[in-house]
Structure 1
């Protein structure tokens, strides 16, 4: 036996909306856990495994408990989306989960969040060895998730160092593992703490790296992959969920939940499938991005509010199966599965240019440097990565006038967070529309589903 095996899943998010895929992910984890008799494996989650998604929205995260039970989860830490339904609901789900939730830096009223059901560190035995775990969550969580309001998130690297020191002093485990939902800062944990393994999350690109002997893994998003990490040897094995054995009981349960949610009404037909992969969302203009932005602009104008430009943040458009054939309410909810409205704000031409330039920003914690973070309607723009500047922008076919006031319709979330479009942070809306996904439903019913790439966004210097 080659020591403990850590089975790592993370950011499975909308996998629950695809019962076959979540069934195969669960089957894969169970199958790998049972290998070697099962006594050497620990199942580890690193956040965003409760939400977002259509079924998550419908059940307020209840569906995740069935997955946790099915895979026999051992330990978990929090991701930003695990607070999508507010701290009280998160506390309820944690109390009912089979695994131990581990957090060293999520605070509430001066104490550890859900202190009756969470710990800053824990130790598990596997393959005759002791494995210590600490858990940390992005300090930006309160900024990027309005529903986490009231919680505090201390410096995760400092918290990890302190928790590891306490863990080593109390138990001196054979291996120290950081459950880390930090995105790029997972690397800091690997370099700046005494962790032997960092099981990371938040950043959706698959990652296997080593830093002076410390292993860092991220299995990507939406339940496509899980990793099997062997701390004793440094080996990392990749397991594609599509190749796994189906957990039919879990898949059937989630299908029943989907049917009961009443999301099967057909609202339109997409003769040409509208893809929504990560590449479509973050690599410039796309049909799915244009569809969302068009829906916002249409809704603002139909509602009599009026708007000149629509902006949708790329991170708010969730990847998933293409919109193809008959498209249901549930399909469109899955594109933006959040109970947040679209809003209209007013800003001058200088500020509008600044907002649109932030679409090319490379400082977003969950993104890669060349990712594109905005989809637009009513405007065209040209961005040059060599100078990281917006070199041209038009609204309604005319250059943006610095002294003119424009109306922008966008996601309310962007007025709350300073992580994506900081120029919008703190602005007060002049109008509030329906939830974002309801605008998509209304637009599809009225206009159909046939978006096109029209040359709205040009990216140079890549």
Structure 2
């Protein structure tokens, strides 16, 4: 019977050569003639090494683990379609995508990307198709020249074609995140190998096994396909024997980048995991938002939670590499001008109760110079700038990543019409702030959720 080895969203694993080498080692350990190695997006970027090498550091990993099939995540377009086409052409695996198109209607990178493929393992034929979040142009500004078809219609065509070819099993390679449930209900797939959302998942929907291995290569799934249904085993990677060739290659890339300048010393470790960043006010969010406000002299600093990348805690000597790893995107800080009414709406949009994106209890932002509270319904019950209540008629300046002006997923109130100025690249702002002001953020009650009774008291 065929086996699948599933990784996804490994993103900045490349910035930790040992962890990347252990991930590769676990995959190679489990690999065999009956196995297919599968990736489901965001496996080329973002990260420090990815930013320096435009995602091409992933080619060494793909070669090492012998990836068989891969689909696209939104971050695989971080450096634009031309860079992605070049990477796909040089990668060893087959890229599978049913819903990504060039702006002239042709399939994206049609010479190297298939809408679906069939592979034989263990005496059985396994069909694969790939789908990517159609919101990618909003999530990734460099993907705006591409078209993303509705994934479910594309998936239905691919599955029909695969069943017509008589495959024994159909596998979805999905970078839809929360859309996997609908995918499972709409198409006849045996398993959905998912990604995009960074929390792990293993459950069945409409009889289909849905899997997500989480972020940064801490775990992979081994899937066994059989007539009795797909079953999955989770494997951690921390104790795997590392592939030394992978570690050595990444160390060489990091050293060549020259990013070891120390910009500050951090006495108390600063956590920056997804769990920390999306669960409310945190020290790393305050540090980033404070740096933005300091650099721009704006009234308020705002950082979208999704822009702070998961990784090990920052402690001891903080380097330029650490600053880049926090916000590994080549985008500038911008200043926007908002009315007080608009600013209040932006603060409200920090809450998942107000913006339907991500997990239900997520916080979508971090702020500096402002404080606010929302009730259980996501309504703003208190909002201040500099300690004073926000005047709906006044105008306020806000420093934020340029991505926020482009995206309608995080802080949809802010758009290009609000632009009032532009500053340095984000990670350069963090480094300058760290050199000048040090790094010792504290929790100050900037963002709060309150019960109905507490809201009434406010």
Q: Same fold (TM over 0.5)?
A: yes
1:248 to 230, 244, 248: 244
Residue correspondence of structure 1 range 40-439 to structure 2 within 5 A:
40-108=34-102, 109-169=104-164, 171-232=165-226, 233-301=229-297, 307-362=298-353, 367-385=358-376, 387-439=377-429
Q: 1:204·1:366 contact (CA, 8 Å) conserved in 2?
A: no
Secondary structure of the residue that 1:452 maps to in structure 2? Answer: coil
CA deviation after TM superposition for structure 1 residue 168, in Å: 1.8
CA deviation after TM superposition for structure 1 residue 425, in Å: 2.8
Runs of 4+ in 1 over 3 A off after TM superposition: 362-366
Cα gap change, 1:84/1:363 in structure 2, threshold over 3 Å: closer, same or farther? Answer: farther
Unaligned 5+ runs, structure 2: 453-458
Residue-by-residue CA offset, 1:109-128 (whole Å, 9 max, x unaligned): 20100000000000001111
Measured in 2, the distance between the counterparts of 1:365 and 1:13 equals 24
Measured in 1, the distance between the counterparts of 2:185 and 2:3 equals 22
Residue-by-residue CA offset, 1:26-78 (whole Å, 9 max, x unaligned): 00000000xxxx11100000000000000000001110000000000000000
Measured in 2, the distance between the counterparts of 1:345 and 1:4 equals 54
Q: 1:183·1:365 contact (CA, 8 Å) conserved in 2?
A: no
Residue-by-residue CA offset, 1:406-445 (whole Å, 9 max, x unaligned): 1111110010010111101333411101111110000000
Q: 1:184·1:366 contact (CA, 8 Å) conserved in 2?
A: no
TM-score, normalization: structure 1?
Answer: 0.96
Question: How many residue pairs align between the two structures?
Answer: 449
Cα gap change, 1:461/1:42 in structure 2, threshold over 3 Å: closer, same or farther? Answer: farther
Secondary structure of the residue that 2:217 maps to in structure 1? Answer: coil
Measured in 2, the distance between the counterparts of 1:226 and 1:243 equals 13
Cα gap change, 1:150/1:55 in structure 2, threshold over 3 Å: closer, same or farther? Answer: same
Measured in 2, the distance between the counterparts of 1:26 and 1:320 equals 18
Q: 1:275·1:288 contact (CA, 8 Å) conserved in 2?
A: yes
Secondary structure of the residue that 2:381 maps to in structure 1? Answer: strand
Q: Over aligned residue pairs, what C-alpha RMSD do you find? A: 1.2
Cα gap change, 1:366/1:399 in structure 2, threshold over 3 Å: closer, same or farther? Answer: closer
Answer yes or no: is 1:19 the counterpart of 2:27. no
Secondary structure of the residue that 2:441 maps to in structure 1? Answer: coil
Residue-by-residue CA offset, 1:149-177 (whole Å, 9 max, x unaligned): 210001011111111112222x1200000
